[in-house]
Amino acid sequence: MTTRDPPWIFRTYAGHSSAAASNALYRKNLAAGQTGLSIAFDLPTQCGYDPDHPLARPEVGKVGVPIASIDDMHALFADIPIERMNTSMTINGTAMWLLALYVAVARERGVPEAGLRGTIQNDIVKEYLARGTYIFPPEPSFDLIAETYEYCVERMPKWNPSNVCSYHLQEAGATPVQELAFALADALGVLDRVKARGKLSDAAFQQCVGRVSFFVNAGIRFIEEMCKMRAFVSLWDSLCQTRYGVTDPELRQFRYGVQVNSLGLTEQQPENNAWRILIEALGVTLSRDARCRALQLPTWNEALSLPRPWDQQWSLRLQQILAYETDLLEYGDLFAGSPVIAKKVEELCEGARAELARIAERGGIAGAIESGYCKSELVRSMAQRMGRIESGEQVVVGVNKWTDGIASPLVGGPDGGVFQIDRAAVDGAVASLERTRATRDAAAAKAALAKLTALAQAGEPIMEASIACALARVTTGEWAGALRGVWGEYRAATGIAGAQIGAGGWDALRARVNALPRRPKLLVGKPGLDGHSNGAEVIAVAARDAGFEVVYAGIRLEPSAIAAMAVQEAVDVVGLSVLSGSHLELTGAVIAELRARGGADIAVIVGGTIPASDHAALRDLGVARVFTPADYKLIEIVGAIVDLV
């Protein structure tokens, strides 16, 4: 009988509306053959707010599950045996808190935490660079990550304390070389901090090195992506030996999970995305010597909306067919000894080493963040990518080539092929929060928060105090609020300075702008808690290249702040970017605030993942133009903005 390797862990990134609804989805997915959980949390949970906070209310339950306390966590894992589960939690700014809640659930269930298996993403670097759900400044943030390593090595040896995440770097425009270098520099920054704290023995530190895991992206250029993974394996092995003296080969293994690329999924001809996802999965499964440990796939319709359960099942079936119907897992590495592959791997390694040296010159990853270097390079790469697509140099089928096609039956149903957001989710989340506050021992919660605060002020470990807070029914907003009071809140560099689109054909548009009576002024900002700033940054760069004066307000802004800035700066147009599904609530709030401040004559445009069914409602609110991923030609977008001036 043919010997087969065991398959990777099958995951589906999921969570929405409420803990109860997400629990039902998880149990259904597990029954369908999923072998691990990947938890998506909503933006208030990720950013450390309770669902009744004004900034949180429009975002509750939109991109993930709201978790305000241990009571919500119990509901999320009801009837799921966490002692037998491999649970991955995509959480960063509040990673320690969600781990504390998970441990607290285990303690209340009587499950030994030493046996818990899973991962918290806990990667703050990529939040500063690409995803935007950071809370605290770099120094205390790195210490929080380091402390989770110290705690897990001693108390939870099967748990991955962080998941160095290059996935979002590629989503933000990173080239393969940048993804390699930025992710490796991130991991070195974490391990250097753990070592510098001096709280672990040499043997325990080597175990820390062995617990580092990665979460990578895999794009459509699947040969190059496969070579990138082989480069990761080689570079990580070398760094573990030379930098940290790790002699055990098992502790030097490059352990990684994957979600394949979402950036390349298209709104136009969305059925093509199914083939893109399949091809991208090959890049991280074909090569046995660099095969992923866990894989989660996006769905065909993610350029249109959040996925429905059926869409997630389709992606899960793709994994199962690849693992069980094909002979992929019956062979050794198919590419060992190939001179073509070896040459490409070395080319990527050489580029990554050079980039790592540039980061080291800036003081390592922390210095490269503070200086804005990494962010600027990502914005530059994204602008160049958009320029290539707009010029046709980079072919995207159905977008800039072979655009005529038969209408897809996948979007022909009554729901239009998109997930219908539960706009009443906030009511359920707030009700759960109020029950917890009403039934908990208020004095115990207050005392737990006081101890947490005192330890943080003294620079002492806070993991055990965080678990005590969880057991006392302290809420997510209270935990984060206490630490905000100690460390403050951070604003990362935007990185748009110096970037250019670089595409030809813009002279006529620049002439139109120059012919206006005065230089037009555009404010670009992201209301709410959505931190995915790639699109907003590219629009800001493109408008500036065309001759606009651009005020880039940044991310995670209250509608009142955007309106006040727009009136104060006397802008002609306000451009809002919303990718979280909260476009109706947030846009309506911004327009209301503009009118209240005498800015009713300022044109408002909105861009993001916005279903066609919501366009009319946005226009009724007073929105002048709506842009979606189908609007990829930057010259046309900026031209449309000029028309509004």
Cα-Cα-Cα-Cα torsion 125, 129, 135, 139, nearest 10 degrees, comes to 40
Catalytic residue among 134, 167, 244, 373: 167
pLDDT score for 505: 75
Bridge partners (DSSP) of residue 213 are 163, 255
Residue 37 near residue 26, CB atoms below 8 Å:
yes
Residues 6+ apart with CB under 8 A from 73: 19, 67, 101, 102, 104, 105, 470
For 172, list phi and psi in degrees, rounded to 5: -90, 5
pLDDT score for 412: 84
Q: What's the rounded Cα separation, in Å, for the pair 69 and 476? A: 6
Burial letters 614-623, b for 16+ CB under 10 A, else e: bbeebeebbb
Residue 570 near residue 521, CB atoms below 8 Å:
yes
Q: What's the rounded Cα separation, in Å, for the pair 274 and 314? A: 9
DSSP H or E run through 607: strand 603-607
- Domains, the chain, with CATH or none: 11-120 (no CATH), 134-371 (3.20.20.240), 436-487 (no CATH), 507-644 (3.40.50.280)
Q: Tokens 């993942």 label which residue?
A: 609
Residues 6+ apart with CB under 8 A from 380: 173, 498, 499, 500
Q: Tokens 């998109």 label which residue?
A: 418
pLDDT score for 306: 82
Q: Does residue 74 carry a catalytic annotation?
A: no
Catalytic residue among 151, 532, 552, 614: 532
For residue 403, give the amino acid letter.
Answer: T
Bridge partners (DSSP) of residue 374 are none
Of 344, 220, 226, 214, the closest CA to residue 283 belongs to: 226
Longest dimension (CA), the chain: 80
Catalytic residue among 526, 552, 572, 614: 526
Catalytic residue among 72, 143, 311, 530: 530
* 8-state DSSP, 15: -
**Residue 336's CB: how many other CB atoms inside 10 A?**
12
Q: Does residue 256 carry a catalytic annotation?
A: no
Q: Does residue 13 carry a catalytic annotation?
A: yes
**Residue 375's CB: how many other CB atoms inside 10 A?**
23
Residue 136 near residue 488, CB atoms below 8 Å:
yes
**Residue 481's CB: how many other CB atoms inside 10 A?**
16
pLDDT score for 457: 98
pLDDT score for 352: 98
* 8-state DSSP, 524: E
Of 239, 167, 235, the closest CA to residue 209 belongs to: 239
Q: What's the rounded Cα separation, in Å, for the pair 401 and 411? A: 21
Catalytic residue among 13, 49, 149, 151: 13
pLDDT score for 420: 79
pLDDT score for 465: 98
CA atoms within 13 A on the CB side of 543: 29
Catalytic residue among 16, 126, 168, 228: 168
What is the pTM for the complete model shown? 0.93
- Terminal CA-CA length for the chain: 72
Residues 6+ apart with CB under 8 A from 245: none
Q: What's the rounded Cα separation, in Å, for the pair 187 and 181? A: 10
**Alpha-helix residue ranges (DSSP H) falling in 127-220:** 138-155, 167-171, 176-197, 202-211
Provide block-wise average pLDDT over 10 residues at a time, the chain (645 residues): 89 92 94 94 97 93 95 98 96 97 98 97 94 94 97 96 95 96 97 96 96 96 97 98 96 95 93 96 96 95 88 95 97 96 98 98 95 92 91 95 92 84 82 97 98 98 98 98 97 73 78 95 96 91 94 93 97 96 95 97 96 94 96 93 96
Q: Can you give the three-state secondary structure of 536-577, one letter per residue?
A: HHHHHHHHHHHCCEEEEEEEEECHHHHHHHHHHHCCCEEEEE
Q: Does residue 167 carry a catalytic annotation?
A: yes
* 8-state DSSP, 397: B
Q: Tokens 């250029």 label which residue?
A: 221
**Alpha-helix residue ranges (DSSP H) falling in 327-475:** 339-361, 364-370, 373-391, 425-439, 442-458, 463-471
14, 85, 116, 247 from 29: Cα distances, Å: 10, 13, 20, 40
Residue 284 near residue 225, CB atoms below 8 Å:
yes
Strands 86-90 and 117-120: parallel
Strands 521-527 and 549-557: parallel
Of 215, 203, 290, 216, the closest CA to residue 244 belongs to: 203
Q: Does residue 530 carry a catalytic annotation?
A: yes
Residue 41 near residue 90, CB atoms below 8 Å:
yes
Residues listed for the chain: 645
Burial letters 402-411, b for 16+ CB under 10 A, else e: eeeeeeeebb
**Residue 124's CB: how many other CB atoms inside 10 A?**
30
**C-alpha angle 255/365/131, rounded to 5°?**
75
